[in-house]
Amino acid sequence: MNSHFGKRDYILSMLAFYELGDVRLAQACFIDAYGRSLDRLGVRR
């Protein structure tokens, strides 16, 4: 299975959360990955 959430993005977003309590990077990465999954599945946005 091909993930649309890159390992680097995951690590950086988890570091931002654990070190700074900031969820914005993780939020942006998840939204981007979700959108790419919709495109891959052919679902209209």
Q: pLDDT, tens digit, for every residue of 20-45?
A: 999 999 999 889 888 888 988 988 76
Q: How confident is the model at residue 3 (pLDDT cuts 50, 70, 90)?
A: low
Torsion of CA 19, 36, 31, 24, to 10 degrees: 30
Number of domains in the chain: 1
Alpha-carbon distances, residue 23 vs 4, 12, 42, 44 (angstroms): 19, 11, 29, 27
In this structure, the number of other CB atoms found within 10 A of the CB of residue 23 comes to: 12
Identify the band that residue 4 occupies on the pLDDT scale cut at 50, 70 and 90: low
> Residue 31: inside a domain, yes or no?
yes
Per-residue model confidence (pLDDT) at position 21: 95
* Amino acid 1: pLDDT: 45
Residue 27's domain comprises 7-41
| pLDDT at position 11 | 92
Would 15 be classed as within a structural domain?
Answer: yes
pLDDT at position 2 over 60? no
Is 2 part of a structural domain of the chain? no
Cα separation, 2 vs 41, in Å, equals 13
* Angstrom distance (rounded) from CA 2 to CA 31: 17
